[in-house]
A and B are shown apart, each in its own frame.
Chain A
Amino acid sequence: MTTTPQAVRRASPRTRRAATPPDPARPLLPDAEPVRLLDPSGTPLPARTDYPEPPVEALRELYRRMVLGRRFDTQATALTKQGRLAVYPSSRGQEACQVAAVLAVRDTDWVFPTYRESMALVARGIDPVEVLTLLRGDWHCGYDPAAVRTAPQCTPLATQCVHAAGLAHGEAYQGRDTVALAFIGDGATSEGDFHEGINFAAVFKAPVVYFVQNNRYAISVPLSRQTAAPSLAYKGVGYGVPSEQVDGNDPVAVLAVLTRAVAHARAGNGPYLVEAHTYRMEPHTNADDATRYRDGAEVDAWRDRDPVTRLETYLRARGVLDDAAVAEVAEQAEAYAADLRARMNEQPTVDPLSLFDHVYAEPTPQLVEQREQVRAELAAARDEEGDA
């Protein structure tokens, strides 16, 4: 672990909340190298006392959901080609991050996803058709955020970082031990709301884990244009927030690091920043052409660090995953994709009049007038169809 001068260790900020035992050994600065528990081939590295390996059952479940997540992702990409989705931002290659993050939190915690977290949301157990509702072209987020404790997928970059701070503070204020997990990408750490969010969380000691998936590109712009910092995890120190960097294609390490980060936050120690070094194997979305800004050799190099293969190799070597189990998971994934395909091929019904339902709790007189106008237009169109 990097030695940290006493001066930059987290000072206890002035806070209204009762003092809690500080995380004894957590410095503000991340390790100089990303935490890694498996090497790229899946061979285990020496165990670490600061990031103990998660239980084997958790790793088997991590594997299962990563396989399902990848299958979901390739199915969603296929659905764009069939015109069933307006657009889809793939997270293929980021399965370790997407799935380990949601396994590190409880169902009662809150998750704040960005638009690239569709895989994380299905790993959290949300119906994939609901997850894809917005990308399908509907006007709402699809799922019930209050029921699944998951905010709508956030498109305005980094704005969710402040919501996570507020939610976490509000939950603590009301005596609940909820943790907020905020996803963010590398490019969005340049946005002001990332800094305001992490600063608010730190000042109010709000239990938030900020999880940066550094997949090297913000659409086309490489990391070197986002920051001159040694790593994005160094952005925590200026706010007094303990931070870590992790190999984002090492599923065991991602789960171990996030588990500690969540425990740190839940114990009342305030926020925690984790940067995962990973790679987006697909273009930004299906509408993007990644060959304009990165070459095939770079993509191939990351193919060799595939997180799913890595975990499978490790679990097989440990004797907790065999051919039958792998086949069983693959079968589940195919069934999952087939069900998604079938349901996405049904034409959804949309009601234009529903556009007025939730602008306000009660529509204004002006919206009532406009709704009547649209209703009349629809009726006239139906009459014309009837006459034709």
Chain B
Amino acid sequence: MATTMAKALNTALADALAADDRVVVFGEDVGQLGGVFRITDGLQARFGENRCFDTPLAEAGIVGFAVGLAMSGLRPVVEMQFDAFAYPAFEQIASHVAKLRNRTRGALSVPIVIRVPYAGGIGGVEHHCDSSEAYYAHTPGLKVVTPATVEDAYSLLREAIDDPDPVVFMEPKKLYFASADAELPARAEPFGRAVVRRPGRDATLVAYGPAVPVALEAAEAAREEGWDLEVVDVRTIVPFDDATITASVRRTGRCVVIQEAPGFAGVGAEIAARVQERCFHALHAPVLRVAGLDIPYPAPMLEHTHLPGVDRVLDAVARLQWDDQPDPRWAAQGSAA
């Protein structure tokens, strides 16, 4: 049955609320309005104001409140309205959510889910399109999850709510209303497992969240060039699945990592480093990255200059030294030095 990621997330929240009295859902505009993206649509009417409610407009307050609720035994699921609006909560996330289990040797835990609609491609104005996953992934104690398919949206969110650790659940906004055939409830692979979305022999494209459809589209287009590309969806940035990605790159011998966030010091850089460390002798070319530019997220009229698209991915694939020639971009620098 055709459904959307937004509907899958909404269904996952409803099913979690129905399954466990300890689950509460709250944030800004999530009650009567159902959230600005309607992910919590109808939950307050169905489960009551005690289970799904609006809070004062204060993100540190929302996350800190969730920490206290978790200490009392509840399982809060909070919504940050937009990626960049979550920054006021960063101290609570980095200093308490991520560390409380460790500071108390497991006596207290923070089984909360922080939902963050993130990334661009929707023509949003400034402060509404940040890819903030690296901040969270760099913080030990957090799990960082980002679905790219409708089934994963449902399955990963249910798993996040059941997980004993805090999960930053990053929802690619541009995929909210993309439709796909999916049966709900769905159970997909668990946390810590990357998934091969498209098998291929010649090179591996590693992507997550909003970059996965780009990778799949690029792989389809690459057939015309005679390349058979494999696409791996990371799904859970933390915990990270080295095994699946390593196995894929050892088979194909070439790898391009794709992310929408600015490339410098990003998750893609970590993935590229890990692949290189583990697959060096299987690699026929350096691991390349295709990422957003190292600029503040641009205005809607220019966002397509920033976003890694199919052409930029294919350009990278073309530079994977198919004819045993060094990448011309770096070769020029080498002769100048």
Contacts and interface: CB of A to CB of B under 8 A. Distances in A.
Contacts of A170: 68-74
Contacts of A199: 56, 58, 61
Given A159-B92, A162-B65, A140 B104 contact: yes
Contact of A359 (B101, B192, B240): B101
B74 to A, nearest CB: 5
A161 B106 CA distance: 22
Contact of B60 (A147, A178, A196, A359): A196
A174 interface: yes
Contact of B72 (A159, A162, A174): A174
B142 to A, nearest CB: 9
Interface in B119-161: 140-141, 143
A146 B105 CA distance: 11
A49 B281 CA distance: 83
B72 A166 contact: yes
B46 interface: no
B239 interface: yes
A174 B164 CA distance: 20
Interface string A216-239: 000000000000000000000000
Contacts of A366: 239-240, 242
A168 interface: yes
Contact-residue bracket for chain A = 35 or more
Q: Does more than half of chain A's interface fall in helix, strand or loop, or is it mixed? A: helix
Nearest to B165: A360
Contacts of A145: 104, 107-108
Given A163-B96, A364-B192, A141 B103 contact: yes
Interface string B161-195: 00011000000000000000000000000001000
B295 to A, nearest CB: 29
B325 interface: no
B106 A365 contact: no
B59 to A, nearest CB: 9
A332 B82 CA distance: 57
Contact of A159 (B48, B56, B95, B108): B95
B240 A361 contact: no
Nearest to A361: B164
Given A140-B104, A145-B108, A366-B239, A169 B65 contact: yes
B192 A365 contact: yes
B49 interface: yes
A51 interface: no
A38 B165 CA distance: 50
Interface in B74-107: 74, 76, 88, 91-92, 95-96, 100-107
5 contacts: A146-B108, A164-B68, A168-B68, A360-B165, A364-B240
Interface of B: 24, 48-50, 53, 55-56, 58, 60-61, 63-74, 76, 88, 91-92, 95-96, 100-109, 140-141, 143, 164-165, 192, 238-243
Given A144-B107, A200-B55, 6 more contacts: A152-B104, A156-B96, A165-B61, A173-B24, A180-B68, A365-B192
Interface of A: 16, 110, 139-141, 144-147, 151-152, 156, 159, 161-171, 173-174, 178, 180, 192-193, 196-197, 199-200, 203, 357-361, 364-366
